[in-house]
């Protein structure tokens, strides 16, 4: 089972700052410390914006589940529709184009294209 608790990066950052201050002997009201505090405010602000804009993994997982259910439903309905179409009697009396009509339409199309080309130039 994976660990779902998030590490406390803020505590690690505070420890690193404390060590850095001790190493460089910085006072609490030093200008650099004020810049670090400003950076932390900035970082919290952008982290909050990112949390609002990026959906959680659980929401993503739920959306994928809904998509899979929709695909399953679509596949089932498509299969049922195809079975219904196959069960219908085939009507061989469907109007079809004769070979003579197809040849005549092709010749008429070429002739019309030729005449339009002549008139265009």
pLDDT in tens, 86-109: 888 877 666 778 899 999 999 999
My answer on whether 43 and 67 are in the same domain is no
Question: pTM here?
Answer: 0.37
Question: Which two tokens mark 107?
Answer: 């010749």
> Considering its fold, how many domains does the chain have in total?
2
- Mean residue pLDDT of the chain comes to 84
Please report whether residue 70 resides in a domain: yes
Helix (DSSP H) and strand (DSSP E) numbers for the chain? 4, 0
Closest CA to 35 of 52, 53, 12, 17: 17
Residues of the domain holding 80:
57-88
- Cα gap 12→103, rounded to integer Å: 83
- 116, part of any domain: no
Within a domain: residue 78? yes
């Amino acid at each position: 089972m994976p660990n779902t608790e998030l590490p406390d990066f803020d505590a690690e950052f505070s420890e690193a700052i404390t060590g850095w201050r001790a190493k460089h002997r910085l006072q609490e009201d030093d200008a650099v410390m004020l810049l670090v505090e400003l950076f932390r405010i900035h970082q919290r602000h952008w982290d909050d914006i990112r949390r609002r804009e990026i959906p959680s993994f659980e929401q993503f997982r739920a959306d994928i589940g809904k998509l899979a259910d929709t695909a399953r439903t679509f596949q089932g309905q498509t299969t049922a529709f195809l079975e219904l179409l196959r069960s219908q009697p085939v009507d061989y009396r469907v109007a079809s184009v004769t070979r003579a009509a197809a040849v005549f339409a092709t010749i008429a199309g070429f002739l019309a294209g030729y005449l339009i080309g002549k008139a265009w130039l």
